[in-house]
Amino acid sequence: MAIELKNLTKRADNYSQWYNDLVVKADLAEQSAVRGCMVIKPYGYAIWEKMQRVLDDMFKATGHVNAYFPLLIPKSFLSREAEHVEGFAKECAVVTHHRLMNDPEGKGVVVDPAARLEEELIIRPTSETIIWNTYRNWISSYRDLPILCNQWANVMRWEMRTRMFLRTAEFLWQEGHTAHATREEAEAEAVKMLGVYADFAEKYMAVPVIKGVKSANERFAGALETYTIEAMMQDGKALQSGTSHFLGQNFAKAFDVKFINKNNELEYVWATSWGVSTRLMGALIMTHSDDNGLVLPPKLAPIQVVIVPIYKGDDQLSQINERVAPIVEKLKAMGISVKYDNADNKRPGFKFADYELKGVPVRLVLGARDLANGTIEVMRRDTLEKGTVSIDGIEEYVKNLLDDIQNNIFQKALKHRSDLTYTVDTYDEFKEQIEKGGFILAHWDGTPETEERIKEETKATIRCIPLDGDKTPGKCMVTGKPSAQRVVFARNY
């Protein structure tokens, strides 16, 4: 597991290569032997686990429970919902057989042709179909509603071009699937979960997001409305970071899920679904990190504080060990994850570079002179600023510093987004600006045709119609037709 600390591509030289390098060199993930599938390495998985824990608590606090539905979906289920099949049946992993046998020619194992399945099974690209087929048995009356289920699972979409975390054939995610007695309640649920995602992104990941609605072209296959949170990466491109769908009665109709309402009438059930995935890891990396490596928000960093001793000989080391022990203990008691790295097979300089690469938010360094002076060196990863402070009360100092870093990287990302957001009124201006990256707020006539034309001519898509902010009507920058409000355009991941 040799760590190559050097040769991390600079962002300015090649942003895309910088990202790929960083994912591998910071030990987050690597390509596997299976096309488009990655191995999530322990350090990367530790960040994902932290995300999962926080999100899971937020889901439970909003009344949701976890369940688990099958990995495999009968092929015919996909065809039940007309739009859904178009969106998801195209590129998916198909299980056709259930047995291998020894190759009669002696070359390993081959598929046993006698073990062909009657109906092919699809590895879930998303679970609406199998879940709504299940809900049919769970729902008969309004008393059975709402159902507020979530599942943590792996899913698979046979993507042509993959990039680690951002777009992989297999990825990990959570998918919430809720069932409601009324349209209003389902719509409110979809909006509520978008709010949960936005809170998580901003308060934990320190990634500012715009909450909005997708245009019809960008909607989830089978949804009446798709809500989204959109984040801006350092290169000015957008990353869709989470979506929440109001599905209307589409899946209830496709799977015949009806209930007796309070007026004793038979009615189709209303639905939502919502999900975030390991793609969030990509958003996290690309929002904050720099040419020295990862920059992690303290709230999601597996190691929040690292302490490195600088010493000559065992005597100095044991003095430092002794001084550090109560600091480690107190930090842990405060709920701060701390690592004391006194391993003697690596030089301090190597350790410094490694923890910078790994994005550990705070580094403390203690040497013999510090012991004499009652001081300790503090380095914050976000700004790389170093200073020497009193060792007494260092625990409170670190606690405040972690809060400060969490806040600072959010403000920095917010400023960056603000600096790269442009209000544009003509299509010529738009075409010029989009080449430089960033979010463009512009008027659009609301038609798929205009949206399609803009996409073809500029590679920019409508990221969302924002829920908040300026709602002044205007005229479409392309056609001059009326526009209800400005929408957010960007090139995207």
Residues that bind its own copies (CB under 8 A): 1-2, 30, 32-34, 37-42, 45-46, 48-49, 65-79, 85, 89-101, 108-109, 111, 120-123, 130, 133-134, 137-140, 143-144, 149, 153-154, 156, 158, 170, 172, 345
Q: Give the E-state strand segments of 204-359 in sequence order.
A: 210-213, 225-232, 238-248, 258-260, 266-268, 270-277, 305-310, 338-340
- Least CB distance from residue 381 to its own copies, whole Å? 22
Nearer to its own copies, 280 or 465 (CB): 280
Q: According to DSSP H, which parts of 300-366 are helical?
A: 313-333, 348-357
Nearer to its own copies, 228 or 278 (CB): 278
- Least CB distance from residue 209 to its own copies, whole Å? 25
Nearer to its own copies, 93 or 191 (CB): 93
- Least CB distance from residue 63 to its own copies, whole Å? 12
- Least CB distance from residue 324 to its own copies, whole Å? 21
Residue by residue, DSSP assigns 24-59 as HHTTSEEE-SSTT-EEE-HHHHHHHHHHHHHHHHHH
| Nearest C-alpha neighbor of 476 from the set 439, 433, 430, 438 | 430
Contacts 24+ apart (CB under 8 A), 237-240: 237/437, 237/490, 237/491, 237/492, 237/493, 238/439, 238/463, 238/488, 238/490, 238/491, 238/492, 238/493, 239/166, 239/279, 239/282, 239/283, 239/286, 239/492, 239/493, 240/463, 240/492, 240/493
Nearer to its own copies, 262 or 436 (CB): 262
- Least CB distance from residue 255 to its own copies, whole Å? 10
Nearer to its own copies, 41 or 475 (CB): 41
- Least CB distance from residue 375 to its own copies, whole Å? 33
Nearer to its own copies, 9 or 32 (CB): 32
Rounded-to-integer distance, Cα 201 and Cα 209, Å:
7
- Least CB distance from residue 457 to its own copies, whole Å? 30
Nearer to its own copies, 149 or 405 (CB): 149
